[in-house]
């Protein structure tokens, strides 16, 4: 399987190349040349363990020997605290897919544990070094750091918007004091961090000179890893309910998680609707209502990992909406870069699975409270947005699976606001208070980032 760029000006590349590169040289995102169809194999797949399912689904996409892939997948999910990796539990008339059983208690561990292992594998096989530069609105950073901490041949530089991630999220990053980990606290918003990131990766000479690699959700391996739990949970819920298809509700920020659901559907998993749920930062929800994608200001909310205006993975979906026309997409993205807005020429065809809605702070708090009081189940604020929007689209005869993207203890303040009591705890997080921390303050400019990265690589210099 080869990979092409959404902007159509990159030679096809292998999975190993794509994983190491991140963004395509023409500024586009990588996608597989074709998507394998598993629709006739669903019955056989349904009885596999998480690991075996992952290996079977990933195998056609990757250029690694199957036995090696098996080893990488096994190692990646052995760090989870339940054997089933991503269990689905019933909460009232919905099904909650718990994606928070990994080391940092958010769904991003599913992808980043695997990505860390793939990086190490490829570096060992091919030699060389890798300097990961990333930006986080909260959860990506800690999951990425935990994916590569202490690994030989890898450094990681993670920008986060100073003061705009929760204290717990911050601690999950800054308390990782391994020498290959650089936490950069940027004086700006998450979108500023993403802009700087795009620019640094846009400078191909700099990128090659310093062996930069990406770990943010544009990395294809992340999307791929996330496809697996759509299959795993759909099978579990279909088995439990006897249904022939399922709907999913996904709390959405960068469009990575929900895009994995879209790929799962294109791979033949019987998904009816994909419910796109946003908080007050609703650029994507509005797009799926009126076809116009227009950038606004970022509003801080209770669900900071979704406080995003420009969704980095959205381009992949646009590519399919434009019938895989890289030239048309390139023009559209140029226009978006210039004007901050774009509009699709035609409405989605019948069979487009997306529906959308948003939930504000009041709705988020109300859903957390109601779910706890009625069912004794604590939702984190991101998951609560998904559950809130899911209620609008729930169908009588099709089970609704709501992705629980983080453990509620990661967002304890929101739980206190909703319930008046500090009910959400997790031993992993409670242990972080008082641990030594490491971080470097950074202005929101490309120049400052370039200096910090170059200094560390050339002189082994740390400024924290």
The set of catalytic residues is 108
Contact characters 358-397, ligand PLP, x per CB under 6 A: ------------------------x---------------
Nearer to ligand PLP, 94 or 123 (CB): 94
C-alpha closest to that of 260 among 63, 43, 108: 108
CB of 28 to ligand PLP, least distance (A): 19
108 binds ligand PLP (CB under 6 A): yes
| Token pair 């984190």: residue | 380
Which tokens sit at 183?
Answer: 């936490």
255 binds ligand PLP (CB under 6 A): yes
C-alpha closest to that of 342 among 311, 370, 373: 311
What does the buried/exposed string (b/e) look like for 200-220 if buried means 16 or more CB atoms within 10 Å of the residue's CB?
Answer: bbeeeebbeebbbbbbbbbbb
Q: DSSP character for 106? A: B
Give dist(CA 388, CA 406) in Å, integer.
Answer: 16
Give dist(CA 253, CA 136) in Å, integer.
Answer: 11
158 binds ligand PLP (CB under 6 A): no
CB of 255 to ligand PLP, least distance (A): 5
Nearer to ligand PLP, 3 or 317 (CB): 317
C-alpha closest to that of 195 among 446, 440, 452, 449: 446
83-91, 156-164, 232-240, 249-257 -> range binding ligand PLP (CB under 6 A): 249-257
Nearer to ligand PLP, 210 or 317 (CB): 317
Which tokens sit at 336?
Answer: 């978006």
Choosing from 4, 135, 387, 406, the residue that interacts with ligand PLP (CB under 6 A) is 406
Choosing from 251, 272, 399, 412, the residue that interacts with ligand PLP (CB under 6 A) is 251
Compute how many residues bind ligand PLP; rule: CB under 6 A.
17
Nearer to ligand PLP, 121 or 255 (CB): 255
315 binds ligand PLP (CB under 6 A): no
Choosing from 192, 257, 280, 315, the residue that interacts with ligand PLP (CB under 6 A) is 257
Choosing from 98, 109, 139, 280, the residue that interacts with ligand PLP (CB under 6 A) is 139
Nearer to ligand PLP, 326 or 386 (CB): 386
Find out whether 267 and 57 touch, Cβ atoms under 8 Å: yes
CB of 249 to ligand PLP, least distance (A): 12
306 binds ligand PLP (CB under 6 A): yes
Choosing from 172, 183, 301, 405, the residue that interacts with ligand PLP (CB under 6 A) is 405
CB of 35 to ligand PLP, least distance (A): 19
Q: Which residues contact 246 (CB under 8 A, 6 or more apart)?
A: 233, 234, 237, 238, 270, 271, 272, 398, 399, 400, 401
CA angle 335, 338, 339 (to 5 degrees): 85
Residues in region 68-107 near ligand PLP by CB under 6 A: 106
314-321 and 326-339 are packed helices; what angle lies between their axes, rounded to 10 degrees?
Answer: 130
Nearer to ligand PLP, 251 or 326 (CB): 251
155 binds ligand PLP (CB under 6 A): no
CB of 7 to ligand PLP, least distance (A): 21
User: What is the DSSP code string of 419-456?
Assistant: HSS-----HHHHTTTT-----EEEESSHHHHHHHHHHH
Give dist(CA 186, CA 193) in Å, integer.
Answer: 7
Give dist(CA 100, CA 143) in Å, integer.
Answer: 11
CB of 44 to ligand PLP, least distance (A): 29
Find out whether 183 and 464 touch, Cβ atoms under 8 Å: yes
CB of 257 to ligand PLP, least distance (A): 4
22 binds ligand PLP (CB under 6 A): no
Nearer to ligand PLP, 253 or 272 (CB): 253
Radius of gyration of the chain (CA): 21
317 binds ligand PLP (CB under 6 A): no
Nearer to ligand PLP, 255 or 293 (CB): 255
Q: Residue length, the chain?
A: 464
217 binds ligand PLP (CB under 6 A): yes
- 343, β-bridge pairs: 292
Which tokens sit at 311?
Answer: 């969704």
**Would you tell me how many other CB atoms lie within 10 Å of the CB of residue 106?**
26
Q: DSSP character for 411? A: G
Cα-based distances in Å from 265 to 35, 246, 248, 379, 434: 10, 11, 11, 26, 45
CB of 459 to ligand PLP, least distance (A): 34
Q: List contacts with ligand PLP (CB under 6 A).
A: 106, 108, 139, 217, 251-258, 305-306, 382, 405-406
């Amino acid at each position: 399987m080869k990979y092409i760029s959404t902007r159509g000006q990159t030679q096809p590349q292998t999975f190993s190349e794509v994983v190491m590169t991140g963004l395509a040289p023409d500024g586009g995102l990588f996608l597989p040349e074709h998507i394998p169809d598993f629709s006739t194999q669903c019955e056989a797949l349904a009885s596999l363990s998480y690991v075996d399912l992952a290996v079977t689904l990933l195998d056609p996409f990757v250029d690694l020997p199957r036995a090696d892939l098996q080893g990488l997948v096994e190692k990646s999910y052995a760090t989870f605290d339940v054997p089933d990796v991503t269990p689905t539990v019933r909460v009232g008339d919905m099904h909650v897919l718990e994606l928070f059983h990994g080391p940092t208690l958010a769904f991003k561990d599913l992808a980043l544990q695997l990505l860390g292992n793939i990086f190490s594998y490829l570096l060992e096989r091919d030699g060389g070094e890798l300097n990961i530069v990333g930006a986080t609105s909260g959860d990506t950073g800690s999951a990425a750091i935990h994916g590569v901490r202490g690994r030989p041949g890898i450094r990681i530089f993670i920008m986060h918007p100073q003061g705009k991630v929760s204290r717990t999220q911050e601690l999950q990053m800054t308390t990782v004091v391994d020498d290959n980990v650089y936490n950069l606290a940027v004086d700006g918003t998450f979108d500023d961090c993403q802009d700087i990131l795009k620019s640094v990766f846009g400078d191909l000479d700099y990128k090659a000179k310093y062996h930069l690699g990406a770990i943010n959700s544009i990395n294809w391996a992340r999307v791929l890893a996330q496809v697996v739990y759509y299959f795993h949970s759909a099978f579990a819920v279909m088995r439990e309910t006897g249904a022939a298809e399922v709907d999913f509700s996904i709390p959405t920020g960068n469009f990575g998680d929900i895009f994995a659901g879209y790929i799962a559907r294109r791979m033949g998993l019987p998904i009816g609707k994909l419910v796109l749920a946003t908080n007050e930062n609703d650029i994507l929800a509005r797009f799926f209502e009126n076809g116009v994608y227009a950038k606004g200001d970022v509003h801080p909310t209770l669900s900071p990992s979704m406080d995003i205006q420009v969704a980095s993975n959205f381009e992949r979906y646009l590519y399919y909406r434009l019938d895989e026309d890289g030239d048309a997409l390139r023009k559209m993205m140029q226009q978006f870069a210039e004007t901050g807005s774009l509009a699709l020429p035609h409405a989605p065809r019948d069979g487009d699975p997306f529906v959308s809605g948003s939930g504000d702070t009041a709705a988020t708090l109300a859903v957390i409270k109601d779910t706890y009081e009625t069912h004794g189940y604590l939702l984190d604020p991101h998951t609560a947005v998904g559950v809130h929007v899911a209620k609008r689209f729930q169908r009588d005869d099709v089970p609704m699976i709501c992705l629980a993207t983080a453990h509620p203890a990661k967002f304890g303040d929101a739980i206190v606001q909703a319930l008046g009591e500090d009910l959400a705890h997790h031993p992993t997080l409670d242990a972080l208070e008082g641990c030594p921390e490491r971080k470097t303050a950074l202005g929101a400019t490309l120049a400052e980032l370039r200096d910090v990265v170059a200094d560390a690589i050339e002189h082994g210099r740390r400024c924290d």
